Structure 1
Amino acid sequence: MHYTELLKAREELTGPGGDFEIVEADVLGNKLRVYKNAPPSIRELWLSTLQYAERPYLVYEDETLTYAETHQRTNALAAWMFAQGVKPGDRVAVAMRNYPEWMQIYWSCASVGIVVVGMNAWWTPEEMAYALKDSEPKVLFVDSERLERVRAIGDIGDIKLVGVRLPEVPDDVMAWDEVIAHGGEMPAVTVDPDADACIFYTSGTTGFPKGAQLTHRGCVANLFNMMFSSASTALATQWATGEVPPEEPPVPVGLVCTPLFHVTANNCAAYLITAAGGKIVLMYRWDAGEALKLIERESITAISGVPVMARELINHPDFEKTDTSTLASLGGGGAQLPPDLVQKIDSQVATARPNTGYGMTETCGIITSVSADFFVDKPDSAGPAMPNFETKCVNEFGEAVPQGEVGELWVRGSSVIKGYINRPEATAESITDGWLHTGDIARIDKDGFIYIVDRKKDMVLRGGENVYCAEVESTLYRHPAVAECSVFGVPDDRLGEEVGAAVVLKDGESLTAEELRAHSAAIMAKHKVPRYIWFLNALPRNASGKFIKRDLKEQLTKEMDNAEVS
């Protein structure tokens, strides 16, 4: 394989005068690696896309907006927000499906220093209420489903409501069309690179999610990381094989299948397509058959999704009948791509190469990336770290272990978040002198490729969504019949993992799995509700009285027939 060429390509591209030259800069009190040529904020990135004015940009069902039309709307929205007294540093929240309005709100706010709070569209009223109180937005943009949940909260204070695609607009809600009709120019402001760009919530280990502060510098650096990954892979392959890439690469057309309130869709897919003047195609909800139709209709070149989506596409009965010849890359983020799927993508999709990235909300997107021949050669790897990161695997004392040995992966770089809003203790626990503790157990090979081998955090990774076991356990304990419980991940072919729970009831109490799920669904989002429930007489404990979760998980996943399954 071409690992010597890859190392040489990475050094040339990041060295003095390279397109991705790396220098050191002071970032919030830490000396970190930054891209010398990166724009200072998201504002400059978005304004640069005016050069693509007549190109189609946002596609949803039978609607298409050009870049020029989108800029007109983002300008009008920014002018309207300033007229409402919403200023740089203030927050606005977005709670909706992947509608075109999501991206318009995002670019508009980011361009004037207003912070976007991405609210998980699956949240229950209780979860939404927590995030609204935590983030204190001035404006909340909602679709009809989320508006119903806001109503269930009751009083939300002085937050102004803007309704998107509502069948009827209540008197206390302003219609999106009315906001856009405001017109106006984009206010002239200077945005601090280290100011918050957005707040994306990550599942909490103690029952409530944490609002991660993604900065402008971090989000732009993530874009450069993705562009660098493509450029270094292409250059190494060219040197090794003599294959010269086209001078004018095709304009990207991306099918975005995961929620825009996550970095996978917003910071990775949308940024990369937008920066290149490409077209973003959105779906109401994931459906493999519908996705195949869109691949053919819109000439999709790349699909951004979780691994299960790639598998469902390939396995769909219409796959062989669909023209997928425009697809250049297929893969996923948010979860590890199983090695067999890497091989299937490479062998069954004639024009597409497999790709993946490993990252976190806390790094504004990817930490590593790998594609094409390198991914096929090391299908169980997450790829090498991007050049703005320092990486190390550490032992329980935070000391670096020798290369090739296993330890918790720590990373340090300009796309690590500033911290968690209102959670100084959680910030201090997760970030040490700029080093982010990923919570993933990894090893790094001689070529610099990172392998994620286990998870330190007590977490289930369900279809790209992090579900913290402690959060689910705290919800189950709120049922008066539950004496003890232990939550863990159950392997699942489709989603990677499903949520499982072992439950011990209080003496004299009775409870069905359906009743426990109904209790859980009223408190937390549906994807966190246990699919597998075992009712036991006792849970195994060690000498200090702690539950032995690993033993419990191994025992119960062998006894799947005994589980009560939703």
Structure 2
Amino acid sequence: MYKELKEAWAELTAPGQMFEIAEIDIRGVTNRTYANAPGTLKDVWAMAAGHGDKEYLVYNDERCTYAQSQAYVASIANWLASQGVKPGDRVAIAMRNYPEWMLAYWAITSMGAVVVGMNAWWVPHEMHYGLEDSAPKVMICDVERLQRFEEIRADFPDLIVTAVRLENEAPEGVIDWVEVINSPAEMPAADIDPDDDACVFYTSGTTGRPKGAQLTHRGCVNNVMNLVFANMVQPLALAKASGSTDAPAGEAPAVSALVATPLFHVTANNCVAQTATIAGGKLVHMYKWDATEALKLIEQEQITTFSAVPMMAREVMMHPDFESTDTSSLKMLGGGGAAMQPDLVEKVGQKMANAQPGTGYGMTETCGVISSVSSAFFQDKPTSCGPPVPTLEAKCVNEAGETLPPGEIGELWVKGSNVIKGYINRPEATAESITDGWLHTGDVAFIDEEGFIFLVDRAKDMVLRGGENVYCAEVENALFSYDGVAECVAFAVPDDRLGEEVGAAIYVAPGDTVDVEALRGHCKGLLAPYKVPRYVWLLTEPLPRNANGKFLKRELRDSLAVEDAA
């Protein structure tokens, strides 16, 4: 089927085809891009007008069609223009995943202004940093974020603030969202270059202050097309492998996507929401992540696509209500933002009626996905995250920056039109992260003979035990394959003799027990002896996570005492 994948790939990207690849100069570097891509996100949103009365945004009992959303977006953009917002100016969005988030996003990008995605988990001093760093003219927020802003408001006297879902009269100096959406539905004219900034998303770095990554219109549009391509090329390859000359016939089901991760990150915004929008799909929002609620929504809204961090997919399938819930509408169950463990790939194949396992690997710095894999390809290579998307070149390099041959482990670098412009106000960080257009991902990986990427670990997360590299992802995969392990992370524990030893924190599934020695014995059957965790902590509470659902590994490690380990 890999021969057929190359054939399908070549067909879809050939000259004259929808996904034809061109090479253009971007900031002095030759990059791959789609020759037939829409120019900007403004064009993408204009195309969505054709979906008319289809449902677009769903939240609790609220439902909004594409036609209604088009009118709201025009009103928001018109109001912003009346406040002096011009192309290139920044507008911050600070709120939960309310429908207003997407409406504001399309309005800001369609008028040529720049979205600043504020992390909704930020406390006042972190919000202060984000506002000072990005210098927006306007902030659109919800009540919770408004309360936090009040503590720092004196430092931003010129910032125009509007708040959504106010329960009472708007506080002094705050404009009620009702006034915004009652503005005339007239989209301001804007001349937008594809390489203009579309948004600034802050990286969820675990050390130092977050960096504001500059995502361009071209990068975001190419990311959407990469995802559409990935959804087409692998089914076409499998059809060819089965003897068919075309992709499987039949009308594709209407897209209904559950938005489970925050819209201020690329997973939910660029990958889930934008891809569903271009397909005329429905976006179902949640107040916050809850596996019980997610199962209800999957059945009620006939969700076809559930793509979040892998732990969310795991929680859904481990939930007591899973067997009694109708999940047959799901066509894809998977994740991004973290590696999907091989046991989870197998469980999706075994437990889901119609859903195929799938994953996408990407970064804020690539406006979304770097690679994607699903169905039979994922099941055949369950530790891979797929081949790089058409607009990206990928290579693994050694410490000298030299390209390594297939199969050899090194840092993954990628180059293409969806690599960010840089980090605002951080020229040194930009220079450290991007060399001649090549983005240093910070991920340790290898690329096999078929061009599939295999992530091994984060460069900073490796355990160096007595001169041997231990990759935490490999340890975690072994732990997850043991019954009773609901959540786990592996990390380095300082050791006087070996430098570092392998430690693991495990949240035991409710109702289950884990025998540590039996667990180590299980790992010895899967790992070299030096990779088996010496220190194991069995926890009774779920592991801490950040806003995007990723485990806070360093925070957890620092909270655990060696003397408490088994």
Which bin holds the TM-score, normalised by the shorter protein? Answer: 0.7 to 0.9
Secondary structure at 1:530 match in 2: helix
Give the aligned partner of residue 259 of structure 2: 256
- Report the CA distance between 1:560 and its aligned residue: 4.7
State whether structure 2 residue 387 is matched by structure 1 residue 384: yes
Change over 3 Å in CA distance of 1:526–1:439 after alignment to 2: closer
Give the aligned partner of residue 345 of structure 1: 348
Change over 3 Å in CA distance of 1:528–1:149 after alignment to 2: farther
- Report the CA distance between 1:305 and its aligned residue: 1.1
**Mapping of 1:329-368 within 5 angstroms?**
329-368=332-371
Give the aligned partner of residue 18 of structure 2: 19
- Report the CA distance between 1:151 and its aligned residue: 1.3
Secondary structure at 2:151 match in 1: helix
- Aligned sequence identity (%): 57
Secondary structure at 2:446 match in 1: strand
Aligned pair count reads 490
Report the Cα distance in structure 2 between the residues aligned to 1:206 and 1:432, rounded to whole angstroms. 22
**Mapping of 1:279-294 within 5 angstroms?**
279-294=282-297
- Report the CA distance between 1:127 and its aligned residue: 0.8
State whether structure 2 residue 165 is matched by structure 1 residue 140: no
Report the Cα distance in structure 2 between the residues aligned to 1:489 and 1:123, rounded to whole angstroms. 29
Secondary structure at 2:555 match in 1: coil
Paired AA for residue 164 in structure 1? V
Report the Cα distance in structure 2 between the residues aligned to 1:30 and 1:151, rounded to whole angstroms. 44
State whether structure 2 residue 169 is matched by structure 1 residue 165: no
Between stretches 128-137 and 183-192, larger displacement belongs to 183-192
Change over 3 Å in CA distance of 1:396–1:358 after alignment to 2: same
Give the aligned partner of residue 296 of structure 1: 299
Give the aligned partner of residue 480 of structure 1: none
Report the Cα distance in structure 1 between the residues aligned to 2:505 and 2:551, rounded to whole angstroms. 18
- Report the CA distance between 1:531 and its aligned residue: 3.8
- Report the CA distance between 1:304 and its aligned residue: 2.1
| Counterpart pick for 2:309 among 306, 311, 317 | 306
Report the Cα distance in structure 2 between the residues aligned to 1:10 and 1:376, rounded to whole angstroms. 20
Report the Cα distance in structure 2 between the residues aligned to 1:282 and 1:81, rounded to whole angstroms. 25
Change over 3 Å in CA distance of 1:535–1:448 after alignment to 2: closer
- Report the CA distance between 1:411 and its aligned residue: 0.3
Give the aligned partner of residue 88 of structure 1: 87
Give the aligned partner of residue 483 of structure 2: none
Secondary structure at 1:246 match in 2: coil
- Report the CA distance between 1:18 and its aligned residue: 2.1
- Report the CA distance between 1:526 and its aligned residue: 11
State whether structure 2 residue 555 is matched by structure 1 residue 530: yes
Unaligned residue ranges in structure 1 (runs of 5+): 470-485, 496-520, 537-555
Report the Cα distance in structure 1 between the residues aligned to 2:213 and 2:6, rounded to whole angstroms. 33
Paired AA for residue 338 in structure 2? A
Secondary structure at 2:126 match in 1: helix
- Report the CA distance between 1:205 and its aligned residue: 6.3
Give the aligned partner of residue 211 of structure 2: 210
Secondary structure at 2:31 match in 1: strand
Paired AA for residue 162 in structure 1? T
Report the Cα distance in structure 1 between the residues aligned to 2:348 and 2:273, rounded to whole angstroms. 23
- Report the CA distance between 1:250 and its aligned residue: 1.4
- Report the CA distance between 1:154 and its aligned residue: 3.7
- Report the CA distance between 1:246 and its aligned residue: 3.2
Paired AA for residue 30 in structure 1? V
Report the Cα distance in structure 1 between the residues aligned to 2:175 and 2:508, rounded to whole angstroms. 40
Give the aligned partner of residue 183 of structure 1: 184
Paired AA for residue 62 in structure 1? D
- Report the CA distance between 1:529 and its aligned residue: 8.5
Report the Cα distance in structure 2 between the residues aligned to 1:492 and 1:265, rounded to whole angstroms. 27
TM (normalized to structure 1)?
0.83
Report the Cα distance in structure 1 between the residues aligned to 2:434 and 2:213, rounded to whole angstroms. 12
- Report the CA distance between 1:251 and its aligned residue: 1.5
Change over 3 Å in CA distance of 1:410–1:320 after alignment to 2: same
Secondary structure at 1:108 match in 2: helix
Give the aligned partner of residue 328 of structure 2: 325
Report the Cα distance in structure 2 between the residues aligned to 1:215 and 1:207, rounded to whole angstroms. 24
- Report the CA distance between 1:26 and its aligned residue: 1.1
Report the Cα distance in structure 2 between the residues aligned to 1:157 and 1:3, rounded to whole angstroms. 59
RMSD of equivalent CA atoms: 2.4
Paired AA for residue 185 in structure 2? G
Give the aligned partner of residue 550 of structure 1: none
Paired AA for residue 187 in structure 2? M
- Report the CA distance between 1:152 and its aligned residue: 1.8
Change over 3 Å in CA distance of 1:233–1:534 after alignment to 2: closer
Report the Cα distance in structure 2 between the residues aligned to 1:303 and 1:51, rounded to whole angstroms. 25
Secondary structure at 2:70 match in 1: helix
Paired AA for residue 122 in structure 1? W
Report the Cα distance in structure 2 between the residues aligned to 1:183 and 1:285, rounded to whole angstroms. 32
Report the Cα distance in structure 2 between the residues aligned to 1:247 and 1:419, rounded to whole angstroms. 43
Paired AA for residue 411 in structure 2? E
Paired AA for residue 207 in structure 1? G
Give the aligned partner of residue 369 of structure 1: 372
State whether structure 2 residue 441 is matched by structure 1 residue 438: yes
Change over 3 Å in CA distance of 1:402–1:186 after alignment to 2: same
* Equivalent pair of 1:356/1:369 in contact (CA under 8 Å): yes
- Report the CA distance between 1:284 and its aligned residue: 0.4
* Equivalent pair of 1:267/1:364 in contact (CA under 8 Å): yes
* Equivalent pair of 1:122/1:526 in contact (CA under 8 Å): no
Give the aligned partner of residue 113 of structure 1: 112
Report the Cα distance in structure 2 between the residues aligned to 1:241 and 1:535, rounded to whole angstroms. 52
Secondary structure at 2:215 match in 1: strand
Report the Cα distance in structure 2 between the residues aligned to 1:526 and 1:177, rounded to whole angstroms. 38
Secondary structure at 2:180 match in 1: helix
Unaligned residue ranges in structure 2 (runs of 5+): 463-471, 477-488, 492-499, 510-545
Give the aligned partner of residue 528 of structure 2: none
Report the Cα distance in structure 2 between the residues aligned to 1:325 and 1:206, rounded to whole angstroms. 42
* Equivalent pair of 2:72/2:185 in contact (CA under 8 Å): no
Report the Cα distance in structure 1 between the residues aligned to 2:232 and 2:430, rounded to whole angstroms. 34
State whether structure 2 residue 562 is matched by structure 1 residue 561: no
State whether structure 2 residue 29 is matched by structure 1 residue 30: yes
Report the Cα distance in structure 2 between the residues aligned to 1:386 and 1:494, rounded to whole angstroms. 37
Give the aligned partner of residue 397 of structure 2: 394
Paired AA for residue 555 in structure 2? P
Report the Cα distance in structure 2 between the residues aligned to 1:494 and 1:265, rounded to whole angstroms. 28
Report the Cα distance in structure 2 between the residues aligned to 1:529 and 1:3, rounded to whole angstroms. 39
Give the aligned partner of residue 474 of structure 1: none
* Equivalent pair of 1:338/1:380 in contact (CA under 8 Å): yes
* Equivalent pair of 1:308/1:494 in contact (CA under 8 Å): no
Report the Cα distance in structure 1 between the residues aligned to 2:364 and 2:144, rounded to whole angstroms. 25
